Amino acid sequence: MKRLSLLAVATLMFIGQSCNQPSNKNNENSENMNDTAKTEYYTFELSDKVTRQKVTFINRYGIILTGDLYKPKNHDNRPLPALTISGPFGAVKEQSSGLYANQMAERGFATLAFDPSYTGESGGEPRGVASPDINTEDFSAAVDFLGIQKNIDRNKIGIIGICGFGGFALNATAVDKRVKAVATTSMYDMTRVMSKGYNDTITSEQRTHTLEQLGEQRWKDAETGTFALGSRLNVEKLEGNEPQFVKDYFDYYRTPRGFHERSLNSVGAWTATNALSFMNMPILAYLKEISPRPMLLIAGENAHSRYFSEDIYKDAAEPKELMIIPSGVHVDLYDKVDMIPFDKLETFFNENLQ
């Protein structure tokens, strides 16, 4: 019972429901960050076999998205297969998605890591908002961009989604038939976790209470003309009694390992009402429509989020594959190159981007 209580607390912290004391410190830096955490700082080193170019493109809601386009330096003039990559939920392209893009470009792919709408360097107001619809659209807008570039084969485009953007990646693939294959790592279904909590432990009474809080917060926002921020996912310091996965998040986002000053998970917070559109809009209702295109689901053996990938694997149609990384936890698949199966990802996309 104690574990379930901790999970419930962590869930409420995660979806930002502490509406009574919103934080507006969206850009503060922690004193334990080193001086390299600057705006153009990346949490990984660019490969000497790869080029990186900042690009912008627009989604069908008129939001200008910013990304980094990675390409292998030494390739012939044949059009390249391409991947668009985003995630984790609340991260920026200078973190995990850029690391993935860098690694996959080394393996011969043109790769686009981008900041989702309302976050990072991408446009959209107010800041710190997520949307099941718009974040799904962001992937398709990235496919638009890749498909009109010189030296990219628009018939060989795939998606990699990390953490919460794994769910959006699957949803985008289901609706966008231009995508030939999809892979996820440490996948979250954000609509499921926000509406039901971790391991579906939120009761109907708790859900009702949360929705009542969100409604009250809307009145407050309307009165002030601003959108208050909810709780921060990662606090300034740990108390020591947090669930292990909260400690793992802290170890990535709040230390030089993965810190970035534009990342909501490092220094900011989502708006207090961010969860509203996730509460009754499940994103994976048409999961089976990914077939006959293949999916690869990768999760850590000890990841608190493992059940999301396992449940998707059970529900999805063939062809599908579930890969469990021995001893891995959720955030290991953010940046631990020795644990992330990049060789498997290379083989998967080479075989399926046809």
pLDDT one-digit tens code per residue, 218-252 = 999 999 999 999 988 777 889 988 999 999 999 99
Q: Which residue has the higher pLDDT, 169 or 33?
A: 169
Mean pLDDT of 269-279: 96
Residue 104 token pair: 């996959």
Predicted confidence at residue 12, as pLDDT, reads 45
The per-residue pLDDT for 194 is: 96
315 within 8 A of 288, measured Cβ to Cβ: yes
Catalogue all structural domains in the chain, each as residue range(s) with its CATH number: 2-352 (3.40.50.1820)
User: Rounded CA gap, 61 and 16, in Å?
Assistant: 25
% of the chain with per-residue pLDDT over 70: 89
Answer yes or no: is pLDDT of 138 > 50: yes
- Lookup result for tokens 């534009």: 262
Average pLDDT, the chain: 90
Tens digit of each residue's pLDDT (9 = 90 or more) over 279-328:
999 999 999 999 999 999 999 999 999 999 999 999 999 999 999 999 99
Residue 265: closest CA among 103, 128, 113, 69: 128
List CB contacts of 17: < 8 A, sequence separation 6 or more.
210, 213, 214, 230, 231, 272, 275
Structure confidence at residue 42 (pLDDT): 98
Which residues fall within 8 angstroms of residue 109, CB to CB, at 6 or more apart?
Answer: 72, 80, 81, 82, 83, 349
Does the pLDDT of residue 259 top 50, yes or no?
Answer: yes
Please state the rounded mean pLDDT for residues 175-180: 98
pTM: 0.91
Sorting pLDDT into bands at 50, 70 and 90, what band is 272? very high
> How far is 116 from 128, CA to CA, in rounded Å?
10
Cis peptide before 132 (omega within 30 of 0): no
Integer Cα distance of 309 and 11 in angstroms? 18
Task: Give me the pLDDT at residue 28, please.
Answer: 36
Lowest model confidence (mean pLDDT) among 28-32, 144-148, 221-225, 235-239: 28-32
- What is residue 39's predicted lDDT score, i.e. its pLDDT? 53
Query: What is the spatial distance between Cα 267 and Cα 256, in angstroms, rounded to a whole number?
Result: 13
Average pLDDT over residues 87-116: 98
The string of pLDDT tens digits covering residues 45-80 is 999 999 999 999 999 999 999 999 999 998 888 899
Mean pLDDT of 253-259: 96
pLDDT at 16 over 50: no
